[in-house]
């Protein structure tokens, strides 16, 4: 079996996969940041009871689940890059809207949560759907099928993104003077610095990562047409191999 460093060499020598790594990390960090700060946003900024949080989370994640089928159709018809651009653009609008949201605008909060779900859906779908394209290009270039290495690195990246998202939120709350609540006690009044940190963590910060993902997706070299050429060349090579046998 290949050593860890040899696997890293294979991963980092595949330029299209580096773009996929960047797209996925930017998208996944945005997902984790929002997921980590959403409870604080609902309770401390919007002033809603904690029992409201599952409903808001469901608006995001439920929409994301339902939209997987829609984005799959869009990616098949228009290409994965286009689907990512469309979904992430809606997501950016939603996060900016949440940053500007004021306490009392509950209906608008749910509308923005649903809109964010449109974007979260592409984060779940598109980067992972790009991996087979990279694997097929690697197979065309090297003659080897090495999907285990690429998928293994994606799983590792997923864990890293989760840990980094939690770390960033924890640091932001700590530095801003956030006051932790005690079970059975009223929700403490947070200082303005903590409220601002919560709003930044749900708006501008994930938006920066999402814009980074859009830029990387723009330069991602495997277009729908290029992928069709890869598949055609693989089929022709397989046909030639069978005829040679």
Q: What is the pLDDT of residue 245?
A: 63
Q: What is the pLDDT of residue 1?
A: 64
> Which three-class secondary structure string do you get for 201-236?
HHCHHHHHHHHHHHHHHHHCCCCHHHHHHHHHHHHH
> Maximum Cα–Cα distance for the chain, whole Å?
77
CATH class held by domain 8-181+188-244: mainly alpha
Contacts of 149 (CB under 8 A, 6+ apart): 2, 7, 10, 11
Instruction: Record the pTM.
Output: 0.89
* CA-only gyration radius of the chain, Å: 21
Instruction: Provide the residue ranges of all domains of the chain, joining segments of one domain with +.
Output: 8-181+188-244
Nearest to 118 by CA among 84, 151, 150, 152: 84
Per-residue pLDDT of the chain (245 residues; tens, 9 = 90+): 667 778 778 888 889 999 999 999 999 999 999 999 999 999 999 999 999 999 999 999 999 999 999 999 999 999 999 999 999 999 999 999 999 999 999 999 999 999 999 999 999 999 999 999 999 998 888 888 888 888 888 888 888 888 988 898 989 898 999 888 777 677 788 899 999 999 999 999 999 999 999 999 999 999 888 989 999 998 888 888 777 66
**C-beta separation of 150 from 7 below 8 A:** no
Query: CA 39 to CA 53: how far, in whole Å?
Result: 6
Nearest to 190 by CA among 47, 85, 19: 47
Q: What is the pLDDT of residue 63?
A: 96
The token duo for 238 is 């397989």
């Amino acid at each position: 079996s290949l050593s860890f460093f040899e696997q890293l060499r294979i991963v980092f020598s595949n330029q299209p996969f580096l773009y996929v790594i960047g797209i996925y990390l930017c998208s996944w960090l945005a997902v984790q940041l929002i997921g980590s700060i959403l409870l604080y946003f609902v309770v401390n900024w919007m002033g809603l009871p904690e029992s409201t949080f599952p409903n808001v989370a469901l608006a995001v994640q439920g929409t994301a689940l339902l939209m997987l089928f829609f984005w799959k159709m869009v990616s098949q018809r228009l290409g994965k890059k286009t689907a990512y651009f469309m979904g992430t653009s809606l997501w950016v609008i939603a996060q900016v809207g949440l940053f500007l949201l004021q306490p009392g605008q509950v209906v608008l909060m749910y509308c923005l949560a649903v809109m964010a779900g449109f974007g979260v859906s592409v984060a779940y779908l598109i980067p992972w759907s790009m991996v087979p394209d990279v694997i097929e290009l690697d197979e065309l270039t090297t003659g080897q099928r090495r999907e285990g290495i690429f998928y293994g690195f994606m799983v590792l990246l997923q864990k890293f993104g989760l840990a980094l998202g939690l770390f960033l939120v924890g640091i932001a709350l700590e530095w801003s003077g956030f006051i932790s609540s005690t079970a059975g006690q009223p929700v403490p009044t947070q200082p303005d610095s903590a409220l601002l940190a919560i709003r930044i963590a749900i708006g501008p910060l994930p938006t920066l990562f999402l814009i980074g993902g859009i830029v990387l997706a723009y330069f991602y070299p495997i277009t729908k047409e290029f992928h069709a050429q890869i598949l055609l060349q693989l089929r022709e090579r397989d046909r030639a191999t069978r005829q040679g046998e």
